[in-house]
Structure formats: C-alpha cells, structure tokens
Amino acid sequence: MNIDRELFYKEFVRRESNTFRAPYDPELEFYSVIKSGNVAKTRELCKESLLDKPGLGTLSEDYLQNIKYHFVITAALVARYCIEGGMELSVSYGLSDFYIQKADKCKTPQEVADLHPVMCLDYARRMRNLRKKKVCSRHVANCIDYIYDHLHTRITAASLAKFAGLNPSYLSRLFKNETGYTISEYIQARKIDTAKNMLAYSDHSPSQIASILSFPSQSYFTEVFRNRTGMTPLRYRMQYFRKTEIGK
C-alpha cells in the first residue's frame, strides 16, 4: 500500500494527464500551484512549452507578438496569485515587470517560450521560501522541505528527527520555536492544504485522498478537514471544484 500511495501522490505532483492541461485549466491549477510554492509540480507543468499549449487565442496576427502577449497575461496572473499568497505587492509586480521586459527583448517565439518556465519557477521558489521566512536554522528548513516532499507518508517527530540527525525532543522544541507550530500541527496543516488542492483540481475521491496522504482512516481525515476548514471534504469540493480564485 505504501508503494501505491506514493505513486498516487507522485501522480498528483507530476500530473501528466491531459485532464489538467485543457485550455481552461491554467486558471484552475497552474497559478495555484505556483502560489502554493510547489516547485516540483510547477516544473512538471512547465514541461509543456508555451508554444505547444492548446487553445491559445490569437491576440496578434504576428506570431512572435502573439506569444509575447500570452506571456504577459501569464506574468500578470502569476503576480496576482502570488500576492494573494502573501508575496509583497512591490516584489511580485516588480518581478512581473522584470520578466515582461525580458520577454519584450526576445527575438523569437522560442526565446519567449524558454523564458516562461524560468519565470514560473522563480515565482514558485520565492513562494516556497515565504513559508520558511521565519525559519532560522538549516535543520528546520530542511525538515520543512522533507515534509512537503513526503506528504504521502506517515511522518512522525521521530522519523523527522532521524532525517535531521537530531534528538526528537530537541527538534520538537526547535521546530516550535521557529515556526510557531508543533511538528504534528505543521504536518497536519500541510496535508490539509494539499487535500484542498486535490479536492479542487483533481478527480480523486475523499477516500482516495485520505489514503494518498496517509490518514489512518477516511473518517479521521474528514474530522481533521472539518476542524480546519469548517466544512466536509465533499462540501469543499462542491464549492471549489475547478473554480478560479481570480475575481473573488
């Protein structure tokens, strides 16, 4: 079951299905992934070249200019989402302006397409670092990265301490002091964040999500989800399934 769970989780992180690459889906998943700071998934979603994306509208009869216009749209939306995620307005828009200016200097559509993943990964890495901005020690920063990469497993203070090479009691105190959360609280919160994303942007059922994220049972998953969001997983899906956050 551990192997199956890991495969399911990696399938979500490394989505290759066309289900999530339909013309309307960038607003549904792509920008939210960057906003969440999920670097691995951003990298996977960027494997599809901007030149190959289906359904790109014609904003200019000049092909190069058309690709540049779509790049600008992407930059504007990424900036907006990241501001909603906690990035400072001046930083986000400054970064957007920087990449738009670089795109404007591109001489070929391929140069614009090559710049696209660079920009998206830059934003994703910055958003990932935001969640660690209060973290001072290398040990806790590494533990946070480990947690995000292993949400499909059962992570305990003991297993995390073994990974960090620290005494469990010492790591627990260090983690609490630097993040404001206990290790278990932090892991639970990140799993629920991921569950919310899966409910909104995947077709996995609540029971599958509970299993993928290594909750001991669906009932426990539902209880934790309700406590943290104020609604059941099914209610959350009904309200947020494939809905863009822009315009809220």
* Interacting residues of 149 by C-beta distance below 8 A, sequence separation 6+: 40
**What whole-number distance in Å separates Cα of residue 248 and Cα of residue 235?**
19
Residue 131 contacts by C-beta under 8 Å, 6 or more apart in sequence?
Answer: 37, 144
Residue type, 91: V
The mean per-residue pLDDT over the stretch 202-230 comes to 93
pLDDT, mean of residues 80-99:
88
Domains, the chain, in order of start with CATH, read: 2-130 (no CATH), 138-240 (1.10.10.60)
Helix axes 183-201, 233-240, angle to 10 degrees: 50
Who's near 205: CB < 8 A, 6+ residues apart?
none
H or E element that contains 16? none
pTM of the model: 0.58
pLDDT tens sequence across 137-151: 888 888 988 888 888
